[in-house]
């Protein structure tokens, strides 16, 4: 198949490209979003991400950076592609884009759908304290992550101190196992398997208040809040809190006593702060 790849980074494109070629398919163009919403402003760091993609893109491969979906469908038609393959794109594609290839569009989603539909599946799994996560490959429709399943695998552990640098290589191994089967089913016109209605959950963007700790919440909820923000920032930051009258950024916590850690009373019991620093901005 001739496949248009849609992804979030140079690493994402390289992984999809390699797996597609190994399965006997030909990538014909790359599509990347520089904004979180159609017609929205470029997100912080978008220039560096695009530079990384340009620096590693195969010779002769087009890179599309649409500002909206209005002209994307028309542009895609020119590639006469069989399939659109997406892994990490924040926009919802309209029907015109989904119909711009012969077979439609397939998405790689890092959760066991129907759980954690939406843009932040791993973050929500960490926030809810899930012990593991998985990968789903599914047909795309005009809603977020509701299309029929083509392949799925769970069993990827979420350790207490989980960071993307360790997690995503493991997820990529799962993706490499699932995609050949999913692409073969797509090439055959297989409609896939409907998602269960049980456990369906949409996990959108985290609310602004999530970056601020409220000590009245449970110790486990706060612990998972710290884990989630730490994951989002690649271990560089955490939520802020008031501690002994001053503002702090909390980087690591423990639900059990740790030598040298600071004990804080939460709504249902103690939590131990293993790593924290003065907040860079005042905590309201």
Task: Compute the mean pLDDT over every residue in the chain, rounded to the nearest whole number.
Answer: 95
Based on the fold, state whether residues 232 and 166 are members of the same structural domain: no
pTM tops 0.75, yes or no: yes
Based on the fold, state whether residues 172 and 271 are members of the same structural domain: no
260 domain residue, yes or no:
yes
Q: How many domains in the chain?
A: 2
Indicate which CATH number applies to the domain containing 15.
Answer: 3.40.50.170
Residue 88's alpha-carbon distances to 102, 125, 249, 257, in angstroms, are 22, 17, 29, 38
Based on the fold, state whether residues 165 and 215 are members of the same structural domain: no
- Of these ranges, 4-8, 38-42, 280-284, the one predicted with the greatest mean pLDDT is 4-8
Based on the fold, state whether residues 35 and 172 are members of the same structural domain: yes
Indicate which CATH number applies to the domain containing 213.
Answer: 3.10.25.10
The whole-number pLDDT of residue 83 equals: 98
284 domain residue, yes or no:
no
Name the residue range of residue 238's domain.
209-278
Q: How confident is the model over 212-222, as pLDDT tens digits?
A: 999 999 999 99
The whole-number pLDDT of residue 189 equals: 96
Based on the fold, state whether residues 77 and 148 are members of the same structural domain: yes
With cut-offs at 50, 70 and 90, classify the pLDDT of residue 279. Answer: confident
Q: How confident is the model over 139-167, as pLDDT tens digits?
A: 999 999 999 999 999 999 999 999 999 99
- How far the first Cα of the chain sits from its last, in Å, is 55
Based on the fold, state whether residues 100 and 220 are members of the same structural domain: no
Average pLDDT over residues 33-42: 93
Q: How confident is the model over 84-129, as pLDDT tens digits?
A: 999 999 999 999 999 999 999 999 999 999 999 999 999 999 999 9
The whole-number pLDDT of residue 281 equals: 66
Based on the fold, state whether residues 182 and 148 are members of the same structural domain: yes
Q: How far is 35 from 41, CA to CA, in rounded Å?
A: 6
193 domain residue, yes or no:
no
């Amino acid at each position: 198949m001739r496949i248009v790849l849609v992804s979030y980074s140079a690493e994402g494109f390289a992984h999809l490209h390699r797996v597609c070629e190994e399965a006997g398919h030909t990538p014909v163009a790359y599509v990347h979003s520089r904004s979180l919403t159609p017609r929205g402003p470029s997100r912080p760091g978008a220039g560096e991400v695009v530079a990384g993609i340009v620096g590693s893109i195969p010779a002769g491969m087009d890179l599309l950076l649409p500002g909206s979906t209005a002209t994307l469908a028309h542009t895609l038609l020119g590639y006469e592609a069989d399939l659109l393959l997406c892994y990490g794109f924040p926009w919802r594609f309209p029907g015109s884009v989904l119909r711009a290839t012969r077979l439609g569009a397939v998405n790689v989603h890092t959760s066991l759908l129907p759980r954690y539909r939406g843009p932040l599946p791993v973050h929500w799994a960490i926030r809810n304290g899930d012990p593991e996560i998985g990968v789903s490959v599914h047909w795309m429709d005009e809603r977020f992550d509701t299309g029929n399943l083509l392949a799925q695998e769970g069993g990827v552990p979420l350790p207490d101190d989980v960071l993307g640098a360790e997690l995503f290589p493991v997820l990529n191994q799962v993706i490499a196992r699932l995609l050949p089967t999913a692409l073969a089913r797509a090439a055959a016109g297989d409609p896939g398997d409907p998602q269960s209605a049980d456990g369906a959950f949409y996990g959108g963007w985290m609310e602004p208040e999530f970056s601020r700790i409220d000590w009245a919440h449970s110790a486990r909820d706060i612990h998972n809040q710290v884990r989630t923000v730490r994951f989002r920032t690649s271990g560089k930051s955490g939520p802020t809190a008031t501690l002994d009258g001053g503002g702090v950024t909390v980087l690591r916590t423990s639900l059990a006593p740790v030598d040298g850690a600071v004990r804080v009373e939460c709504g249902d019991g103690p939590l131990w702060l293993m790593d924290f620093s003065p907040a860079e901005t005042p905590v309201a």
